[in-house]
Amino acid sequence: MSPPLYLNAVGIGASLGLGKQEVAPLLFAGSRETLRPGKEVRPGRAAVVGAIERPLPALPPAFSRFDSRNNRLLAALLSEIRADIEAAARRYGRDRIAIVLGTSTSGMAEGEAALAAYRETGRWPADFDYRQQEVGSAASFAARWLETEGPAYVVATACSSGAKTFASARRLIAAGLCDAAVVGGVDTLCRLTLAGFSALESVSAGRCNPFSANRDGITIGEGGAVFLMTREPSEIALLGIGETSDAHHISAPDPEGKGALDAMRAALADAGLSRDDIRYVNLHGTATPLNDIMESKAVCALFGETTPCSSTKAMTGHTLGAAGAIEAAFLWLTLHPRFNPGRRLPPHLWDGAADTALAPIRLATTDDRLPDAPRVAALSNSFGFGGSNCGLVLGRGW
């Protein structure tokens, strides 16, 4: 059992909106109107995506080598918690703040645009810098943007990236290498992921439909969430983390869900909690045939048919390397009395067509509520290619 750390502040952005005040009401109401047709995955076929439609702030000229949609979104997320980070810097020193961020495509969209221009003109655009698309760009940019001097790096484990940053940063704090960490993930849309998942026949023809008999694949989205994590007590605690690796297949999960189940059990053990202490589970819930079968088996084996669960990807799309961070932020909002005074749960949005091939789990509705109790805990699942699994337990009242 590890002592809790605290998630003192969070900044969030997704297709639902930018900032906690915009995102929370739509999350608990169960809005999926921001999943709209918009991106071509191959000639003649457009896909539904969860895009952030609001213009993102431009970066100053001094940051031109970092300029990408990914880093512009990251700057917007950091602005929401900048005051908290500055207070931590005054308290601990800038060399005692680490940055650990997850992503999968980073600034790949800028590389795609530059390559298209090169093919057309024979020249690379003057404003293109190869470093814009490097997977480690987000951490390097954030460290310079925030003027921090502690460890700064990116975790890239596909769709578990944003969740695994919490584990990595916790180890830095435990080792005495820092006193605070900026953790989370950010990923923005690009043709590579849209075309790649389409080639794998994993992209839904419409909006994703998790845990339905009619599910036909993922809807891809963009977004991110960043947290300030310290030992200083605050409203929401990071209670437990569980990590496992299936090594079952390069892209398909272990069909029995053993690695997923072990990650959830490890997160509960790390938190010193039992399954009965968990009052809500945010499912990985991609709406692919294999993921939902595997996850239903794992969740049912641990929690049975009574613990309310939902896949919020039906509202945001699958944000890939940012998904674990965004869904941790959804737990944070769900547990926080200021942003969720009605104790509502994010509802599971689907067509209601039950799949008898799935293990029975309880899918949350708009009527479900957290208990009115001094202490409440919830869990979030994240599963990546290659069997990279991570479970996070957050709690209020610790």
Catalytic residues: 159, 284, 318
Q: Could you write out the DSSP letters of every residue in 273-317?
A: --GGGEEEEE------HHHHHHHHHHHHHHHTTTSEEE-THHHH-
Tell me how crowded residue 251 is: count the other CB atoms within 10 A of its CB.
Answer: 15
> What H or E segment, with its residue span, contains residue 183?
strand 180-187
Q: Which two tokens stand for residue 390?
A: 């991570």
Closest Cα to residue 220, out of 249, 190, 186? 190
Count how many Cα atoms sit within 13 Å of the Cα of residue 389 in the half-sphere of its side chain: 29
CA distance 360 to 301: 10
What are the helix (H) ranges across the chain? 20-29, 69-92, 108-121, 137-146, 161-174, 191-199, 258-271, 289-303, 313-316, 323-335
Tell me the residue type at 269. Answer: A
φ, ψ of residue 162 in degrees (nearest 5): -65, -30
